Amino acid sequence: MTGSQKKLSFEFFPTRTPEGRAKQVITRKQLSQYNPEFFSCTSGAGGSTKEGTLQAITDILSEGVAAAPHLPCVGMQPVEIIELLQQYKEMGVRHIVALRGDIPSGMGSGMSGLRYANELVELIKTEFGSDFHVEVAAYPETHPQAKSPRSDLDAFVAKVRAGADSAITQYFYNADAYMRFVDEVRALGLDVPVVPGIMPITSSTQLMRFSDACGAEIPRWIRLRLQAFGDDTASIRAFGLDVVTHLCEQLRSQGAPGLHFYTMNQSVATLEICDRLGL
Ligand code: FAD
């Protein structure tokens, strides 16, 4: 399979300053050369970054690229979600990343509205039919709050049965976990594309912090090497590029339908990996 047949997408988070916004425009311009299927922008649960996400989506559309806003439903009422989707539709958005989002601590039991992402997918499909291509999240290494790997797989299946068109995974550094997850999904008769989420490695402390929070496992051999590099960022970056490029090669050769990069609003590492892959 050639690179041109694969889906390629790049994720950003909303910026808070005009400088950040201007930098993001440049970053996206550099990444546009790879003809992404879309650029996505995250959104804080409970609408906490709504304005920033809207701004980024407006910018992306004005650059002539398809834009995919992330929509975490937790803490939002269905009527608010429908209003926001209507606004996105009028702006020309055709892609939504439908999520539950992380429940702010202490709010769990008292929250009304939608509880899980499958309910959001159902709402989008009921209200908007096929106006939006709906992406959902998948967890090859199991979502940290899931009761078991099986219940998490069931939750994923519920999202697909509710109408999800494709999925993007949490990042991981173990290709076997991804392949097994896809095999399990296929064994249940679902042929939805499951695109691996790729997190370039550029900083040891940042990666450890994120991975602890989202339940992504850093294999021991990678963790030990990153720790041994200490403050030597050049070595961390060089090692990270090798590891992540090799992971992408493995995933592509084993049939992954595309790659979704968590850019962290930076272009250097993602560009280098795309170059090395010959995308
Ligand atoms: P769900 O699929 O609803 O699952 C959440 C948990 O509940 C899982 O443990 C699942 O096993 C369990 N579950 C699901 N259904 C049921 C049920 N019926 N009964 C019991 N248990 C159930 N977060 C943000 O806040 N903003 C973002 O922009 C954002 N973007 C993301 C993008 C990607 C590609 C990924 C992978 C994650 C993203 N996240 C984002 C993080 C995500 O919101 C969190 O991981 C969140 O905790 C789960 O969201 P979900 O959509 O996977 O939830």
Task: Using the atom order of ligand 1, give the atom closest to the CA of residue 97.
Answer: 32
Q: Ligand 1 pocket test: which of 107, 143, 265 has the largest number of ligand atoms within 8 Å of its C-beta? A: 143
- pLDDT more than 90, % of the chain: 89
Q: What is the mean pLDDT of the chain?
A: 94
Closest Cα to atom 33, ligand 1: which residue? 137
- 104-121 per-position pLDDT tens digit: 666 655 567 899 999 999
Widest pairwise Cα distance in the chain: 52
- The larger pLDDT score, comparing residue 256 to residue 49, is at 256
* Alpha carbon 67 to chain centroid, angstroms: 13
Tell me phi and psi for residue 70, to 5 degrees: -80, 140
Residue 2 pLDDT exceeds 50? no
Q: Whats the size of the chain, residue-wise?
A: 279
pTM of the model: 0.96
Interval between CA 101 and ligand 1 midpoint (Å): 5
Closest CA to 229 of 241, 242, 239, 218: 239
pLDDT digits (tens, 9 = 90+) for 127-156: 999 999 999 999 999 999 999 999 999 999
Tokens 């996400």: give the residue: 53
pLDDT 10s digits, 3-32: 446 799 999 999 999 999 999 999 999 999
What does the pLDDT read at residue 3?
Answer: 46
Q: How confident is the model at residue 102 (pLDDT cuts 50, 70, 90)?
A: confident
Q: Is there a catalytic annotation at residue 37?
A: no
The dihedral over CA atoms of 164, 71, 7, 29, expressed in degrees to the nearest 10, equals 160
Distance (Å) from CA 26 to ligand 1 centroid: 30
Pocket probe for ligand 1: among 100, 185, 263, the residue whose CB has the most ligand atoms within 8 Å is: 100
| Average pLDDT estimate for 52-75 | 96
Q: How far apart are the first and last CA of the chain?
A: 11
Does pLDDT of 47 surpass 90? no
Axis-axis angle for helices 233-253, 175-187 (nearest 10): 30
Q: Which of 9-13, 180-184, 211-215 has the lowest mean pLDDT?
A: 211-215
Task: Please give the single-letter amino acid code of residue 140.
Answer: P
Residues with CB under 6 A from ligand 1: 42-45, 70, 72, 97, 99-102, 116-118, 137, 143, 145-146, 151-152, 155, 159, 168, 170, 197
Q: Ligand 1 centre from 122 Cα, in Å?
A: 15
